[in-house]
């Protein structure tokens, strides 16, 4: 496993994701959290990446603690807003106190190994105030893998190119493989194991922990993922 895209080249990761509709995601979250009675309160964001969702959550008035596994991603995120950024992973969550809501946006759950789903949900539940909602999504990953795809883009340093694909490595896991060509003439490999969870597995894990669960078809039109809104 090589994770240089996240550790050494977060600016390229940021550029790769620049066309994502972050505003749509936050509009969905605002509507759901307001309906759940959470408005401008303490919010825990898990898997914040380079902070694009984070800065929007802060702008809406939330008091955000945002965690991510990679210091490189956090270095970029800290330039975007003044949230309380922490280096952490789930199921380990070295944060204090209770949060009025928790979010994990854009396939954070799919970075977990299958047997880590339950402990991760337990860790988040332990950080939620009574009745606090958890909002997260399950990406529609290709369980049988897919063909390589080419992405071309530009960072402040110049143009980059990335070829990526998902490859099955076991009955229940994929490897997300990328080859990245930087503007400086360097080429590096990035790989990350992923889990294509089915929705029923996640639903059953939430119900087993006494969450009330509702599901939505994406954060908006043409978003091919399932969004879970779970209340403890």
- pLDDT averaged over every residue in the chain: 95
Cβ atoms of 43 and 24 within 8 Å: the answer is: no
Do 93 and 161 belong together in one domain? no
Name the band, by pLDDT with cuts 50, 70 and 90, for residue 163: very high
Q: What is the CA radius of gyration of the chain?
A: 17
We report the CATH number of the domain holding residue 209 as 3.40.50.150
pLDDT surpasses 90 at 41: no
Across 70-99, average pLDDT: 94
Please state the pTM of the whole predicted model. 0.95
pLDDT surpasses 90 at 126: yes
Do 33 and 121 belong together in one domain? yes
Do 27 and 81 belong together in one domain? yes
Three-state secondary structure call for residue 33: helix
Counted domains in the chain: 2
Do 166 and 227 belong together in one domain? no
Tell me: the pLDDT tens digits for 175-185? 999 999 999 99
Task: For residue 15, report the phi and psi dihedrals to the nearest 5 degrees.
Answer: -70, -40
Three-state SS string across 151-201, please? EEEEECCEEEEEEEEEEECCCCCEEEEEEEECCCCCEEEEEEEECCCCHHH
User: What own/partner pairs with CB < 8 Å and gap ≥ 24 does 19-25 have?
Assistant: 20/52, 20/106, 21/219, 21/220, 22/52, 22/53, 22/56, 23/56, 24/219, 24/220, 24/223, 25/53, 25/105, 25/106, 25/219, 25/220
Do 156 and 48 belong together in one domain? no
| Residue 222: predicted pLDDT | 87
What is the rounded distance in angstroms from the CA atom of residue 215 to the CA atom of residue 39? 21
Do 86 and 14 belong together in one domain? yes
Tell me: the pLDDT tens digits for 138-149? 999 999 999 999
For the record, the structure tokens of 216 come out as: 């939505």
* Range of the structural domain that residue 184 is part of: 149-194
Closest CA to 88 of 122, 65, 113: 65
Do 45 and 130 belong together in one domain? yes
Do 183 and 95 belong together in one domain? no
| Residue 181: predicted pLDDT | 97
| Residue 1: predicted pLDDT | 63
Do 187 and 202 belong together in one domain? no
């Amino acid at each position: 496993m090589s994770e240089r895209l996240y550790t050494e080249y977060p600016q390229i990761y940021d550029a790769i994701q620049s066309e994502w509709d972050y505003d749509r995601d936050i509009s969905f979250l605002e509507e759901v959290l307001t309906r759940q009675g959470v408005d401008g309160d303490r919010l825990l964001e898990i898997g914040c990446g380079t902070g694009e969702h984070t800065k929007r959550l802060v702008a809406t008035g939330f008091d955000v603690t945002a965690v991510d596994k990679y210091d490189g991603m956090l270095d970029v995120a800290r330039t975007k807003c003044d949230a309380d950024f922490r280096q952490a992973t789930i199921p380990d969550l070295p944060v204090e106190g209770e949060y009025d809501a928790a979010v994990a946006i854009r396939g954070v759950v799919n970075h977990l190994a299958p047997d880590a789903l339950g402990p991760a949900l337990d860790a988040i539940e332990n950080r939620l105030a009574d009745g606090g909602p958890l909002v997260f999504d399950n990406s529609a990953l290709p369980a049988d893998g897919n063909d390589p795809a080419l992405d071309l883009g530009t960072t402040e340093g110049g143009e980059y190119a990335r070829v990526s694909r998902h490859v099955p490595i076991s009955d229940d896991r994929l490897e997300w493989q990328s080859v990245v060509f930087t503007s400086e003439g360097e080429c590096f490999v990035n790989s990350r194991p992923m889990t294509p969870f089915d929705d029923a597995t996640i639903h059953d894990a939430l119900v087993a922990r006494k969450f009330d669960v509702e599901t939505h078809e994406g954060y908006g039109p043409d978003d091919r993922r399932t969004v879970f809104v779970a209340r403890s």
